[in-house]
């Protein structure tokens, strides 16, 4: 096959370039979208088909230590969903936490060409990088967990703001991360040090450090802004899953003080009601704030009925769920850096809270006034597998289908939402925004999520169908880096995607200040901690835009 | 004289260091074919350090030298031996659907061998 | 900071110092070695901070004068070795691969790939080490921690069925007993150490409390502790049954519930004895239960240098940690069915590739007898009982001494190796990659689709 491709007669959805369903030809050369190609280019006749940029998952859990613990934990789930090899692809196992190969291939079979692993502790980032290297087809990167970092807390306690910023940059560079991640800020110290306690308020003082989660969040947002990270701090707010956590989520968004911030899986953080009572939907307050504040991006973290796995750096949350289910439970403390909890889970239509969460996610989508900032995710596998995306898209695009679905769920929970009154249907253009253009823009990926000249030739071609679940479930063609990976619904070749990472600039002197802390409190040598470039494999550095 | 005893194979420091020299070298073979017995058990069986004993299990048999341990360190009726080819000879193949043969806590018959 | 510096010694020898090198002998994977390397003699002459096992590891791995490849005992080229190995694997109906725990992850990844390609069986030394703990993990989960967390916080440290003083000599001094930590300012003085075993060992002196239990009664003691933690009644004859008095059990329960941060380390004294995975499951469950009162974790003390890496690699590529079979073109897991000891003892495999392990010495007699009947490919840095019976024997470089790569410590922390001196022997990754390319070519008639 020639390295040139020409897609003709397809209907293009390219919201970043204001193309909404127009028929255009698309030329591809050397992995990029170009203005023209030679006459010998391979032609794809996309008549009757929808052409979109490859989709981008801004928040999922697909690689690294906690994901692998969950894989090991679930043999009973893998055996129900085998992933046979083909002439060109590796075998694996599926289920709610698929093997690395199955993960890459399955994302590709839904038209996804980029996915970001949302939480990796720095000390185990090598593991995540190795797994991502074994995750085929898609481009990928990860967010490094720094929001409970003992050394950074020490700097904040001592009021050393400059060093704090330098140290963040050092860490992002040292582990080849994309951006920083904060999870249940401040909770680790209480969880590990005060017999499984948790932070309940962002203005509470964190044990031993004389600082509040609010101060930590503010400081990260400011530092990331100055470093010009391509994607701002990616925040898992405090009090996830607790009734009345709306107040905490609003406090967190306000802490950004107008600077860019990404609020992860916001559905889980939109509970109204009183603590320790049944939650109600608090979506209205949250979405009104997001609609009115351009600095905020969010992914919904939609809950889908069926299997899920709670997999989180928020250890107290997993413990709370463990005490509901008393099923197998994993907790994993990472020295000076993070906690982790894992619980197999399933969301059921008859259960009040599960239906409430499902409905709250849909409310968020349907009340969003700016699809560029309210993005599609299930927080895979926390709200359900990424394999649910086509069904979720149908729920958004097809109000009749949604009305049917509403009949099958817990009606008392539905009473506590506005979902029955929402008639909105997403258009294909809006779907292209919440799954492609929006996440790419939020991530600062200038060459992804659109089909303009110079963009990465990551392209999905769907046969247009009335049933949008069917349509988005099985693209006819998937092109990655200009290579036809899926042709007529079948894998034509294997392909290796890139690692996406950023390298914020910093003053190298900071390393000498971090080192003594390692000697005292870490179990690995400082000199062995930073990860060599050998682990980057096929990679792309995404530029930063420092402000100072 | 034959007695039934419990065999506990395990790691030892000399087993670990001699392993690095080579598993076919004399030191490793010596270390892994020396069993420790409670001193009172040895007296009863009329054994001295360095005497040869045969250990026999349902799975197989092997000959090793013996060495006395204080009674408070190794309870009566128990034998310790560093892991190695001799202890493997006594291990059954059945893993009870676990993949792991029962390799500690083996019932063995201990017989003193005549000196040649 | 430069990790290696080269100088001349007084005898005018070329000496290299490697700082922060990693010892891969046991699962402690200590990464603070300072190696003095005699580049003329091709050997490590000093290993600062290494324990007795680590020193033996570094000093004894010299360059031995032997052929890179032997086929049927005769020297051959690397290419011939790779070709013969590939032919064996491709022509077998049920090829198996076993070992991997003394190879870096980069090599392990290729080994799984080969078995995926030939529809073979992959298993690691985990199956005869903490495989039962892996099965227990699948059943009940695990509350666990990295070793640095334990160093920083654990005020109650319990070792059960292990003898770290001899198997993991620096476990006490570097990680869990003597070191000072963030909230353990006085080191050992701030911790209570309990040791549970059937016999006294060189580890016993470190313990504040030694609990001697009757052999094979671990499960009963653990279950009694779970009951007491939950305030339930236990068998009045517990002491006669297990050798542990009710008073001692009550004391342990109080200490565990009142600890600030407790840890249970489990050794192979639990997994290799009566009860196997039930024992590991009981100890994991006990640790989980204790979290209703305080913070408690458990951790298997893993053996070989990179056995933990093998678990991780096999898990991320297949979904299962060990004992994985690809006969049907996708991974299946069933301990007892696809674990190597069983596959061999039942006489099923018709070819075996053994990587850095010695089943011909460590397996049951029945398994060894079958291994002797089938073509065996071995990759090892040293001669072993298994290399002696192999049809194709590759002499490979030693990981961590001659080659780099990634190794996972027993607590899943990955560490990169710093090789000390070059070896004329290929790395196991190079040999395996060669076999992978040939196997793929033989099966598809053309070169593999992904360039390495």
| Residues of chain C positioned with their CB less than 8 A from the CB of A335 | 145-149, 151-152
Contact with chain C for residue B17, Cβ under 8 A: yes
Listed by number, the residues of chain A in 250-279 with a beta carbon closer than 8 Å to a beta carbon of chain C are none
Model ipTM?
Answer: 0.97
Cα C78 to Cα C397: distance, rounded to the nearest angstrom: 13
Question: Which one-letter DSSP state was computed for residue A433?
Answer: I
Would the CB atoms of A99 and C321 count as touching at under 8 Å?
Answer: no
Contact with chain C for residue A99, Cβ under 8 A: yes
Is the pLDDT at B91 greater than 60, yes or no?
A: yes
Q: What's the pLDDT at C452?
A: 35
Residue with the two structure tokens 């709610």: A96
Would the CB atoms of C276 and B96 count as touching at under 8 Å?
Answer: yes
Contact with chain B for residue C212, Cβ under 8 A: yes
* SS3 sequence of A232-258: CCEEECCCCCCCCCHHHHHHHHHHCCC
CA distance B42 to chain C (A): 17
Contact with chain C for residue A527, Cβ under 8 A: yes
| Residues of chain C positioned with their CB less than 8 A from the CB of A124 | 412-414
| Residues of chain C positioned with their CB less than 8 A from the CB of A79 | 332-333
In angstroms, the Cα distances linking A279 to A243, A266, A353, A414, C265 are 5, 15, 7, 12, 40
Q: What's the pLDDT at C3?
A: 67
Q: What's the pLDDT at A325?
A: 77
Cα C283 to Cα C252: distance, rounded to the nearest angstrom: 14
Count CB neighbours of A22 within 10 A: 11
Read off the pLDDT of residues C373-384 as tens digits, 9 standing for 90 and up: 999 999 999 999
Q: What's the pLDDT at C2?
A: 56
Cα A371 to Cα A427: distance, rounded to the nearest angstrom: 11
Kind of pairing between the strands at C95-99 and C121-124: parallel
Is the pLDDT at B92 greater than 70, yes or no?
A: yes
Is the pLDDT at B22 greater than 70, yes or no?
A: yes
Listed by number, the residues of chain A in 336-375 with a beta carbon closer than 8 Å to a beta carbon of chain C are 336, 342
Residues of chain C with pLDDT under 50: 1, 446-452
CB C329 within 8 A of CB A84: yes
CA distance C22 to chain A (A): 9
Listed by number, the residues of chain B in 26-55 with a beta carbon closer than 8 Å to a beta carbon of chain C are none
In angstroms, the Cα distances linking A134 to A103, A139, A495, C114, C337 are 10, 11, 11, 15, 27
Burial of B97 (0-12, 13-18, 19+ CB in 10 A): middle
Nearest one of A54, A9, A11, A57 to A33, comparing CA atoms? A54
Q: For a pLDDT cut of 70, what percent of chain B falls above it? A: 98
pLDDT tens digits for chain A (548 residues)? Answer: 458 999 999 999 999 999 999 999 999 999 999 999 999 999 999 999 999 999 999 999 999 999 999 999 999 999 999 999 999 999 999 999 999 999 999 999 999 999 999 999 999 999 999 999 999 999 999 999 999 999 999 999 999 999 999 999 999 999 999 999 999 999 999 999 999 999 999 999 999 999 999 999 999 999 999 999 999 999 999 999 999 999 999 999 999 999 999 999 999 999 999 988 999 999 999 999 999 999 999 999 999 999 999 999 999 999 999 998 788 999 999 999 999 999 999 999 999 999 999 999 999 999 999 999 999 999 999 999 999 999 999 999 999 999 999 999 999 999 999 999 999 999 999 999 999 999 999 999 999 999 999 999 999 999 999 999 999 999 999 999 999 999 999 999 999 999 999 999 999 999 999 999 999 999 999 999 999 999 999 999 999 999 96
Cross-chain CB nearest to B98 (options C60, C163, C277): C277
Residue of C nearest to A151 (CA): C182
Residue of A nearest to C147 (CA): A523
CA distance A209 to chain C (A): 13
In angstroms, the Cα distances linking A540 to A435, A497, A503 are 21, 10, 11
CA distance B79 to chain C (A): 10
Which residues make Cβ contacts (< 8 Å) with residue A122, sequence separation at least 6?
A: A144, A145, A146, A149, A171, A174, A175, A177, A337, A529
Determine the straight-line distance between the first and last CA of chain A, rounded to whole angstroms. Answer: 48
Cα B95 to Cα C323: distance, rounded to the nearest angstrom: 13
Mutate to test the interface with B, among C58, C137, C302, C342 (most CBs of B within 10 A): C342
Distance of CA A497 to the CA centre of its chain: 17
Q: What is the pTM of this model?
A: 0.97
């Amino acid at each position: 096959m020639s390295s040139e491709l020409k897609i003709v007669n397809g209907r293009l959805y390219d919201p970043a370039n204001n193309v909404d369903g127009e028929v255009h030809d698309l030329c591809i050369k050397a992995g990029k979208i170009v203005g023209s190609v030679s006459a010998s280019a391979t032609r794809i006749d996309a008549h009757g088909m929808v052409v979109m940029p490859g989709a981008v998952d801004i928040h999922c859990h697909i690689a690294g230590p906690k994901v692998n613990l969950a894989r090991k934990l679930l043999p009973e789930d893998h055996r129900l969903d085998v992933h046979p090899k083909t002439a060109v692809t590796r075998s694996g196992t599926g289920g709610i936490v698929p093997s690395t190969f199955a993960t890459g291939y399955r994302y590709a079979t839904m038209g996804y060409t980029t996915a970001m692993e949302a939480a990796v502790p720095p000390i185990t980032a090598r593991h995540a990088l190795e797994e991502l290297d074994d995750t085929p087809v898609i481009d990928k990167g990860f967010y490094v967990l720094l929001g409970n970092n003992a050394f950074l807390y020490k700097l904040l306690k001592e009021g050393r703001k400059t060093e704090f910023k330098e140290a963040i940059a050092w860490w992002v560079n040292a582990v080849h991360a994309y951006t920083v991640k904060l999870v249940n800020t401040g909770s680790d110290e209480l969880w590990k040090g005060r017999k499984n306690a948790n932070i309940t308020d962002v203005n509470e003082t964190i044990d031993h450090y004389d600082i509040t989660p609010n101060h930590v969040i503010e400081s990260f947002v400011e530092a990331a802004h100055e470093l010009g990270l391509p994607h701002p701090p990616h925040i898992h707010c405090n009090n996830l899953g607790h009734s009345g956590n709306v107040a905490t989520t609003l406090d967190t968004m306000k802490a950004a003080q107008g600077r860019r911030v990404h609020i992860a899986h916001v559905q889980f953080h939109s509970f109204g009601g009183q603590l320790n009572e049944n939650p109600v939907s608090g979506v209205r307050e949250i979405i009104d704030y997001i609609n009115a504040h351009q600095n905020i991006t969010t992914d919904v973290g939609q809950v889908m009925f069926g299997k899920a796995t709670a997999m989180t750096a928020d250890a107290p949350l997993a413990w709370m769920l463990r005490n509901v289910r008393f099923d197998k439970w994993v907790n994993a403390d990472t020295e000076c850096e993070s906690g982790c909890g894992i619980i197999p889970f399933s969301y059921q239509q008859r259960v009040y809270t599960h239906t409430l969460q499902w409905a709250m996610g849909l409310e968020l989508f349907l009340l969003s006034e700016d699809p560029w900032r309210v993005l599609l995710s299930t927080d895979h596998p926390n709200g359900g597998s990424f394999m649910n995306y086509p069904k979720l898209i149908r729920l958004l695009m097809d109000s009749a289908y949604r009305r049917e679905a509403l009949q099958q769920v817990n009606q008392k929970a539905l009473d506590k939402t506005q979902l029955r009154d929402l008639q909105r249907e997403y258009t294909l253009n809006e779907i292209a925004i919440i799954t492609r253009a929006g996440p790419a823009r939020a991530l600062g990926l200038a060459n992804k999520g659109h089909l303009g000249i110079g963009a990465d030739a990551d392209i999905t071609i769907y046969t247009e169908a009335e049933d949008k679940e069917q349509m988005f479930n099985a693209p006819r063609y998937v092109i990655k880096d200009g290579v036809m990976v899926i042709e007529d619904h079948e894998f034509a070749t294997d392909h290796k995607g890139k690692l996406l990472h950023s390298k914020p600039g910093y003053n190298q002197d900071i390393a000498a200040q971090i080192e003594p802390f390692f000697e005292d409190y870490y179990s690995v040598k400082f000199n062995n901690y930073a990860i060599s470039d050998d682990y980057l494999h096929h990679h792309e550095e995404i530029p930063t835009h420092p402000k100072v | 004289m034959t007695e039934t005893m419990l065999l506990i194979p395990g790691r030892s420091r000399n087993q670990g260091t001699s392993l690095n020299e080579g598993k076919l070298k004399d030191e490793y073979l010596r270390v892994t074919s020396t069993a420790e017995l409670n001193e009172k058990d040895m007296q009863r069986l009329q054994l001295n350090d360095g005497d040869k004993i045969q250990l026999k299990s349902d799975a197989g048999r092997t000959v090793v030298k013996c060495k006395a341990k204080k009674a408070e360190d190794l309870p009566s009726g128990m034998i310790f031996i560093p892991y190695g080819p001799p202890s493997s000879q006594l291990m059954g193949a059945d893993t009870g659907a676990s993949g792991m043969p029962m390799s500690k806590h083996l019932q063995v018959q201990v017989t003193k061998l005549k000196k040649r | 900071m430069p990790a290696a510096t080269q100088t001349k010694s007084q005898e005018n020898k070329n000496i290299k110092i490697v700082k922060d090198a990693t010892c891969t002998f046991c699962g402690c994977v200590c990464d603070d070695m300072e190696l003095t390397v005699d580049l003329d003699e091709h050997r490590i002459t000093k290993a600062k901070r290494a324990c007795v096992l680590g020193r033996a590891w570094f000093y004894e791995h010299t360059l031995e004068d032997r052929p890179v490849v032997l086929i049927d005992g005769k020297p051959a080229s690397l290419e011939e070795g790779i070709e013969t190995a590939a032919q064996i694997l491709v022509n077998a109906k049920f090829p198996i691969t076993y070992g991997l725990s003394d190879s870096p992850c980069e090599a392990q990844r290729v080994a799984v790939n080969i078995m995926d390609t030939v529809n073979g069986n992959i298993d690691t030394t985990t199956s005869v080490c903490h495989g039962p703990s892996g099965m227990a993990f699948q059943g009940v989960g695990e509350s666990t921690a990295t070793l640095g967390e334990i160093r920083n916080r654990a005020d109650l440290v319990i070792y059960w069925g292990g003898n770290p003083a001899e198997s993991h000599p620096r476990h006490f001094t570097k990680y869990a007993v003597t070191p000072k930590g963030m909230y353990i300012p006085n080191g050992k003085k701030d911790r209570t150490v309990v040791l549970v075993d059937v016999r006294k060992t060189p580890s016993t002196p470190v313990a504040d409390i030694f609990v001697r239990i009757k052999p094979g009664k671990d499960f009963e003691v653990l279950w009694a502790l779970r009951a007491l933690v939950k305030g339930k009644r236990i068998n009045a004859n517990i002491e006669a049954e297990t050798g542990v008095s009710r008073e001692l059990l009550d004391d342990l329960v109080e200490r565990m519930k009142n600890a600030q941060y407790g840890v249970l380390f489990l050794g192979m004294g639990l997994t290799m004895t009566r009860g196997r995975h039930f024992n590991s499951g009981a100890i994991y469950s006990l640790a989980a239960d204790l979290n209703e009162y305080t913070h408690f974790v458990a951790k298997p003390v893993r053996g070989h240098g990179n056995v933990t890496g093998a678990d991780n690699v096999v898990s991320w590529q297949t979904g299962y940690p060990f004992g994985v079979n690809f006969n049907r073109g996708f991974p299946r897991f069933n301990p007892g069915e696809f674990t190597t000891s069983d596959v061999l003892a039942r006489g099923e495999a018709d070819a075996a590739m053994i990587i850095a392990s010695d089943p011909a010495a460590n397996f049951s007699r029945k398994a060894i007898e079958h291994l002797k009947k089938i073509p065996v490919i071995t990759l090892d840095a040293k001669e072993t009982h298994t290399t002696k019976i192999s049809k194709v024997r590759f002499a490979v470089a030693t990981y961590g001494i001659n080659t780099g790569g990634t190794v996972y410590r027993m607590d899943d922390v990955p560490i990169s190796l710093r090789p000390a001196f070059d070896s004329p022997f290929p790395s196991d990754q190079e040999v395996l990659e060669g076999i992978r390319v040939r196997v793929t070519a033989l099966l598809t008639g053309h070169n593999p689709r992904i360039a390495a």
